[in-house]
């Protein structure tokens, strides 16, 4: 049984680490160590999606083990064909959700990182309004967007927005575009808009 130590890793890293190991090593049994209950819930949901059973063992308030076993009759993860529909992801804010500011920014960082770990990546990432901060001054998201770009995603930021926020000279990933192009892309492709 493969053991994955995800202690100290915040969501979504434990799920990403586990799924990557299952897919790359074609695993049928996995034991994942985490330090919070939310991670156990997310791992259990992922297990169900992948055709695994999940048993959660609470060792202490800061230590849990999730044992995952592949169910009989489930095809290999590698045999599951992804959907072929192309999509774009649009960011209009530097935060995810409307909660406490620093936490909302942390959630946005996690979402952009999680995009890099998906089996399917967006055709475009489009940023406008305060969303242009993720292509300019947010070093974490800039690095993750570079990973997406290497996988074929085109990164676009609204030029007017960059100028409005004084970020035109700070664009670190992708190119500037205009609102006509942004509108055109949202009408043409399935659009995922997390914020």
Determine contact, residues 154/124, Cβ cutoff 8 Å.
yes
Q: Please report the pLDDT score of residue 80 as a whole number.
A: 44
| CATH code for the structural domain at 2-70 | 3.30.110.40
pLDDT at position 174 over 90: yes
Q: Please report the pLDDT score of residue 69 as a whole number.
A: 93
pLDDT band at 38 (very low <50, low <70, confident <90, very high): confident
- Does the predicted TM-score (pTM) go above 0.85? no
Please list the residue range(s) of the chain that carry CATH number 3.30.110.40.
2-70
- Report CA 170 to chain centroid distance, whole Å: 24
* pLDDT, averaged across the chain: 90
More confident residue, 158 or 50: 158
CA atoms within 13 A on the CB side of 3: 5
Which is nearest to 39 in space by CA: 69, 62, 71, 70?
Answer: 62
Instruction: Using DSSP bridges, classify how beta strands 29-34 and 63-70 pair: parallel, antiparallel or unpaired.
Output: antiparallel
pLDDT at position 79 over 80: no
Express as a percent the part of the chain with pLDDT over 70. Answer: 94
| CATH code for the structural domain at 87-192 | 3.40.1260.10
Q: Please report the pLDDT score of residue 82 as a whole number.
A: 43
């Amino acid at each position: 049984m493969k053991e994955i130590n995800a202690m100290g890793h915040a969501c979504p890293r434990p799920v990403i680490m586990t799924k990557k190991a299952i897919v790359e090593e074609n695993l049928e049994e996995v034991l994942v160590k985490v330090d919070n209950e939310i991670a156990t819930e997310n791992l259990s949901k992922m297990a169900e999606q992948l055709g695994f059973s999940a048993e959660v063992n609470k060792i202490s308030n800061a230590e849990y083990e999730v044992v995952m076993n592949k169910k009989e009759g489930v095809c290999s993860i590698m045999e599951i064909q992804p959907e072929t529909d192309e999509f774009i992801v649009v960011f209009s804010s530097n935060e995810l959700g409307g909660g406490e500011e620093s936490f909302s920014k942390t959630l946005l960082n996690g979402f952009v990182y999680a995009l890099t770990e998906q089996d399917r990546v967006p055709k475009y990432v489009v940023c406008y309004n305060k969303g242009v901060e993720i292509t300019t001054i947010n070093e974490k998201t800039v690095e993750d967007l570079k990973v997406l770009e290497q996988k074929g995603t085109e990164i676009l930021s609204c030029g007017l927005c960059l100028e409005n926020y004084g970020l035109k000279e700070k664009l670190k990933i992708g190119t500037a575009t205009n609102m006509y192009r942004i509108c055109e892309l949202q009408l043409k492709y399935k659009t995922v808009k997390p914020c």
